């Protein structure tokens, strides 16, 4: 009854990990003709795989595991889903309640075990085949789906205690067909429109009207085409440039590019630019920006800061935003377009765009001279050369930061994905494979060697289900991001405890999982491998060995050159205006 209800509600995908206690759940899901199931042995990998499917489809995906420590294995993916508001319906099998704390095999206390990172928990208790018991199962399915999909979007957890027997040929009860018909007639829930604070909205619009200089920040999110068009129009009407985090995906596509300042992370290294920039108001959609220099600018800015997202989440580590409006971003843009009108400072805006273009040219000139061993060059090379529409999963740590630092705006229709909720490096490959499993587009993953190592088990899903994925493996033999942190001054301790070189031959692992392994030590060879692997529609890993120390120096050199050029231009403009 539970699985049939999920079918009616529109759930179409589920991952199942093997276990005896979950036998009734496994049978119910695999017998479904509408829900496609993926049997994945490693529970952690299965949960991240489900996360990827839910991220791509935007629809709740089910996760099925047995009792005991199997339940704990899926926690990392639930945490990520919680902070990124990805809809998962987590179904855990359990022993009967009376066996808790008795030493019974594979029995732990699963009662609301994910309580700190779940949107709703329900325990169904042992099966009750009366109308009251079965109707309660259906209503619970409705409640879980509603919460996960729209009421409080994110992961939900339902615990299923089962006593033996589990198999259909060992049944203990019979149910009359008229009862099943009666249960099937229970109406499906219908979503109610979300309300927002009109007074607060009107106050924000009033502030927009009186502000001549503003900034729109797009943090991580899977923005749809409607919002992208609406926020582009709002940006032009207000005269506010858009800083689009690489994780937002807004830098890629055919929408208006003239308002994007994708080089803000470079410009903020200029003291003169920060003095000139000074927006009066900042509108932030989506999650927390990736770059620390943007976060520091946000914290120190005297601008009025407004967070706008559907559930009123505080994506503001600085705690300086005074207004959080729980409203759908698209609805906000559309309503604000109808009302707001002001007098933007066009001279200021044009200067910002000019500075952004100058920073972009400096970046390009560096890239032309750089070798592929420079980590910052790799994401930009991927975005520049990948053909057609595609999904690109970007790993945490350096890949997402280098994408944010250096990715230029492109007309390529690239949909970016990332796990920026908790920003861990676990489950990255499995998430990418989950995305690819339900996507009609080619899928790519840009990842580092530590993240790849953390999820080698995930490659098995590519082999088992024939899921294609092109993996760009940036191998600096350890945690290269620590070269950019103060701990790098303590060489021996940093090398042994933070960077932790793996010294692994990844070729053997990839080939063991049926994948193709390629290496590239030049830009031309890399582009050749990239295009061939995307066309091949199979698991292909392209390894690029990089130098973390040298990459750190080159990043700093780019930022230094941008800062010196912008400082010079602003000084020159100020000198021209001084009376003699």
Higher pLDDT: 221 or 301? It is 301
Q: Is the pLDDT of residue 494 over 80?
A: no
Structure tokens at 93: 């099998």
Distances (CA, A) of 357 to 55, 76, 364, 408: 33, 40, 10, 10
- Work out the mean pLDDT of the chain and round it to a whole number: 93
Q: Give pLDDT, residue 92.
A: 98
Q: Give pLDDT, residue 481.
A: 72
Task: Kindly state the helix (H) or strand (E) to which residue 159 belongs, with its residue range.
Answer: strand 156-161
Cβ burial, residue 228 (10 Å; 0-12/13-18/19+): buried
Structure tokens at 343: 């007098």
Q: Is the pLDDT of residue 550 over 70?
A: yes
Domains and CATH numbers, the chain: 2-184 (3.40.50.970), 198-361 (3.40.50.1220), 375-546 (3.40.50.970)
Could you read off the pLDDT of 440-456 as tens digits, one per residue? 999 999 999 999 999 99
Higher pLDDT: 279 or 256? It is 279
Give dist(CA 105, CA 94) in Å, integer. 11
Higher pLDDT: 33 or 165? It is 33
- State the pLDDT confidence band at 480, using cuts at 50, 70 and 90: low
Q: Give pLDDT, residue 580.
A: 40
229-194-53 Cα angle (round to 5): 65
Q: What is the 3-state secondary structure (H, E, C) of 76-100?
A: HHHHHHHHHCCCEEEEEEECCHHHC
Higher pLDDT: 418 or 105? It is 418
Q: Give pLDDT, residue 362.
A: 97
Q: Give pLDDT, residue 259.
A: 92
Give dist(CA 510, CA 529) in Å, integer. 16
- State the pLDDT confidence band at 479, using cuts at 50, 70 and 90: low
Task: Kindly state the helix (H) or strand (E) to which residue 63 belongs, with its residue range.
Answer: strand 61-65
Residue 437's nearest CA partner among 87, 90, 86, 15 is 15
Structure tokens at 17: 């990990």
Q: Give pLDDT, residue 192.
A: 84
Give dist(CA 405, CA 376) in Å, integer. 8
Distances (CA, A) of 461 to 46, 65, 432: 9, 17, 11
Could you read off the pLDDT of 381-398 as tens digits, one per residue? 999 999 889 999 999 989
Upstream peptide bond of 165 is cis (omega within 30 degrees of 0): yes
Calculate mean pLDDT across residues 470-491: 82
- State the pLDDT confidence band at 85, using cuts at 50, 70 and 90: very high
Structure tokens at 292: 């620390």
Give dist(CA 48, CA 45) in Å, integer. 5
Calculate mean pLDDT across residues 275-285: 97
- State the pLDDT confidence band at 579, using cuts at 50, 70 and 90: low
Cβ burial, residue 489 (10 Å; 0-12/13-18/19+): exposed
- State the pLDDT confidence band at 540, using cuts at 50, 70 and 90: very high
Helix, strand, or coil (residue 461):
helix
- Count other Cβ atoms within 10 Å, centred on residue 192: 9
Lowest-confidence segment of 14-18, 222-226, 299-303, 472-476 by average pLDDT = 222-226
E-strand ranges in 182-275 read 214-218, 242-244
Give dist(CA 238, CA 174) in Å, integer. 66
Bridge pairing between strands 156-161 and 61-65: unpaired
Q: What is the 3-state secondary structure (H, E, C) of 270-289?
A: CHHHHHHHCCCEEEEECCCC
Q: Is the pLDDT of residue 207 over 50?
A: yes
- State the pLDDT confidence band at 461, using cuts at 50, 70 and 90: very high
Upstream peptide bond of 162 is cis (omega within 30 degrees of 0): no
Q: Give pLDDT, residue 578.
A: 61
Could you read off the pLDDT of 319-336 as tens digits, one per residue? 999 999 999 999 999 999
């Amino acid at each position: 009854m539970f699985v049939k209800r999920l079918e009616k509600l529109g759930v179409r995908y589920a991952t199942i990990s093997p276990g005896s206690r979950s036998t009734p759940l496994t049978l119910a899901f695999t017998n479904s003709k509408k829900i496609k199931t993926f049997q994945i042995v490693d529970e952690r990998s299965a949960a991240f795989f489900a996360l990827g499917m839910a991220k791509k489809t935007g629809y709740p995906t089910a996760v099925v595991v047995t009792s005991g420590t199997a339940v704990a294995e899926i926690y990392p993916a639930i945490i990520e889903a919680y902070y990124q508001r990805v809809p998962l319906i987590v179904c855990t099998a359990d022993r009967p309640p009376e066996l808790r704390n008795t030493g019974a095999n594979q029995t732990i206390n699963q009662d609301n075990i994910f309580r700190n990172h779940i949107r709703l928990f329900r325990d169904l208790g042992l099966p009750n085949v009366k109308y009251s018991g079965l109707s309660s199962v259906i209503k619970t399915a409705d409640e879980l789906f509603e919460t996960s999909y729209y009421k409080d979007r994110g992961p939900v957890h339902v615990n299923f205690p089962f006593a033996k027997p589990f198999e259909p040929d060992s049944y203990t009860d019979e149910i009359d067909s008229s009862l099943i018909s009666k249960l099937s007639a229970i109406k499906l829930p219908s979503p109610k429109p979300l309300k927002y604070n009109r007074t607060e909205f009107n106050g924000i619009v009033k502030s927009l009207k009186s502000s001549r200089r503003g900034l729109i920040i797009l943090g991580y999110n899977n923005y749809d085409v409607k919002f992208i068009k609406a926020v582009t129009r709002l940006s032009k009407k207000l005269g506010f440039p858009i800083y689009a985090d690489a994780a937002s995906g807004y830098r890629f596509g055919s929408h208006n590019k003239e308002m994007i300042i994708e080089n803000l992370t470079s410009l903020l290294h200029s003291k003169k630019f920060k003095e000139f920039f000074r927006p009066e108001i900042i509108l932030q959609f989506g999650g927390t920006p990736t770059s620390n220099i943007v976060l520091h600018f946000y914290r120190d800015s005297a601008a009025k800061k407004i967070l706008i997202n559907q559930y009123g989440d505080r994506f503001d580590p600085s705690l300086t935003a005074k207004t959080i409006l729980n409203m759908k971003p698209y609805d906000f843009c559309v309503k604000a377009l109808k009302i707001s009108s002001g007098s933007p400072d066009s001279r200021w805006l044009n200067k910002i765009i000019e500075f952004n273009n100058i920073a972009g040219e400096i970046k390009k000139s560096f890239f032309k001279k750089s070798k592929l061993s420079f980590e910052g060059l790799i994401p930009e090379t991927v975005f520049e050369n990948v053909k057609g529409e595609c999904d690109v999963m970007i790993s945490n740590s350096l890949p997402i930061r280098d994408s944010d630092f250096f990715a230029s705006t492109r007309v390529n229709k690239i949909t970016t994905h990332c796990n920026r909720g908790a920003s861990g490096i676990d489950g990255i490959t499995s998430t990418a494979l989950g995305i690819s499993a339900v996507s009609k587009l080619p899928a790519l993953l840009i990842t580092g060697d530590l993240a790849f190592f953390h999820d080698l088990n995930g490659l098995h899903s590519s082999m088992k289900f024939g899921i294609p994925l092109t993996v760009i493996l940036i191998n600096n033999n350890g945690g290269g991001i620590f070269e950019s942190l103060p701990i790098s001054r303590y060489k021996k301790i940093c090398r042994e405890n933070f960077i932790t070189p793996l010294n692994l031959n990844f070729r053997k692992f990839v080939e063991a999982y049926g994948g193709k392994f390629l290496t590239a030590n030049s830009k031309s060879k890399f582009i050749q491998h990239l295009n061939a692997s995307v066309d091949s529609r199979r698991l292909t890993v392209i390894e690029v060995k990089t130098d973390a120390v040298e990459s750190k120096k080159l990043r700093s050199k780019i930022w230094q050159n941008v800062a010196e050029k912008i400082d010079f231009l602003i000084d020159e403009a100020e000198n021209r205006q001084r009376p003699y």
